[in-house]
Chain A
Amino acid sequence: MSTDRVHADHVHEHPTWKQYKWVALWLFIITVAEVWAYYIPALVNSKAFVPSILLMMVVKFTIVVMFYMHLKYDHHLFRKLFTGPLTIAGITLVAFLFLFGKL
């Protein structure tokens, strides 16, 4: 796991403005879509609303974490340090919803 030392400080090149602006654009578009969906009564009342909001939320979350927080490029150790706790937090949250009759 930790035998692979990173010798230079920046073996992993961080992305640049060229990628970042696309990331920002996508985040913007998805946010617009989220708010838009909120104002379509037919969609809000349908079964698809909650899943689609959740999906968009997850996509935004993933984009920020992968590109802005560099998890896609950085040492795998950081990925483990983040995804482990995130998974436990997620499972606990779902368990709470179940235990309190929200699922």
Chain B
Amino acid sequence: MSEPLHQNESIGIVTSGGLKENLHVRLNGTPQQVQEGSFIVIDSQDWKFYGIATDLQLQSIDPRYALEPSRARLPEELAGLLDRQTLYTNLVVLPALMLERGPEPDSADYSAWRRAIDSGDKEEPRPMPVKSIPAHHADAFLAGAGDVAEIFGKPEDESNFVIGYTREQDHPVCVNLDKLIQRSSGIFGATGSGKSFLTRMLLAGLIDHNRASVLVYDMHNEYGLDDTASDTGENVRGLRSGFGASKVQVVGLGGSATIRGSAPDFNLVLGYSDILPEDVELLTRELNLKETTATVLDALVQSLGKDKWFKAFKAMKRGATETTDGDKKVPAPDSVAFWANQNGVNVMAAEGLHDKLRRLFNKPYIVENPPADSIQALVEALKKGKHIVLSFGDYESDLDYLLVSNLLTRRIRAEWEQMTNEFRGKNGSEPRPLVIVVEEAHKLLNREMAAQTTFSTIAREMRKYYVTLLVIDQRPSQIYDEVMSQLGTRVCGWLGDEDDIHAVLSGLAGREALRGMLSRLQAKEEVLLLGWGVPMPILVHSRRYDELFWQDIKTSKKAGFDQAKVIKNLYGD
């Protein structure tokens, strides 16, 4: 706590502002020493204030000094002296947190202050949302490594993961992984902004931290096995290659799936009985189903049974007829029309549904008798703490993605709900937290789907049942706002579209200031951390995902452990 003040020199002093209108700092030097998004610390008596630079404005004490270049009238040196006093830059700081720092560490007041804390009369100061402002002429600084660690946590702490570095001074910025998985979170950014790279990194951190299981719906086969970067052509390590199959398993969709030419650890094959009417209803838009679908499905389940309808319906023939004695053509007993007539269902509606479901009937990964209950195997692996990357292999269509991810998620959620209830009823152990990672999340979480899918239920109920989402998307505006507003941690790269920016900032304070910042991020490898999961918004340039990263991951445990031991030896418990 009693770290030395600042390695940095004061960059200016507070001249005006307020809680509602941001703080204004008059800079001592040139504007370029600070950039939008810089993490700024302000020292004001016994308090430290933390904020983010949101704007820089050129100012003069009289507009005439700014309009007429002094160099035109005066020699260089005099002009310099004049400009220094008459022209200046105003830094606008959005204050976020404040921390009681106490009196100067070597003063008499300090020891009294410290004693009060140590004896428990006074709470150990903690950063809290700003409720006051610094005084006039308080000194402002660029945050030092100590400040960043004070707010975002120390990189050596076990639950902290370095996600990137501050823009100007490269101080490591951590996210708290325990907090990250407490609520659903999101990674956003236009295409090519580095979402997949960041996700790989974050997942590596989560897997390494090992407090939750991870299930990735890997629509484009990016996360499990090694990949090749589309722009640099370099090899990109996958999670299984990084951690080995004992921790991370790659599951391929379909019986004979290969992922990038390699065999997966096991295959996911769905049985006919796994397909429920609700799975079909979710595909309404994808299959362009009619309003009559629900009625037909209802009748199918009623007449054929919840786990038999799919098989039976598939077996029915479309348009089959037979000729009666009276030379009349009537629907054959194995036809769709026959079943419809028997069950009082509109023949056209039933035949229409049958036509449309043909796309499902023909899916090779849906078979009558799967060799094993691979869904259950997958669930068991997750429960045991393994991490799973479900690769869609060649099944890259939206239909495959929607059907399989929804079906699986429904099963998983039900399982976790049951475990949670058992645990709460004191006859079971605590469920292992699970993070479900969804790429192209808007496909599953758009306005239309949101009411029906398990995904939006998960996002809304937070971690009640120990399951949270990590959604990845390039079009956050297409994700249902109610889901968006539930996302705790938001990591956002460059976005060009106003609506997308608006969506990412929904429900956050200081939106106006953050909006401009988002639209001016670098196109690659620069992100804004936002939301409940981070102490305050901050702009970081992303950590590099490369072999060095993997070396760090592999040695971090030991390093963290040793360090903890050293500290223990030094200071006791």
A and B part of one assembly: no
Measuring CB to CB, which residues of chain B are less than 8 angstroms from any residue of chain A? none
Measuring CB to CB, which residues of chain A are less than 8 angstroms from any residue of chain B? none
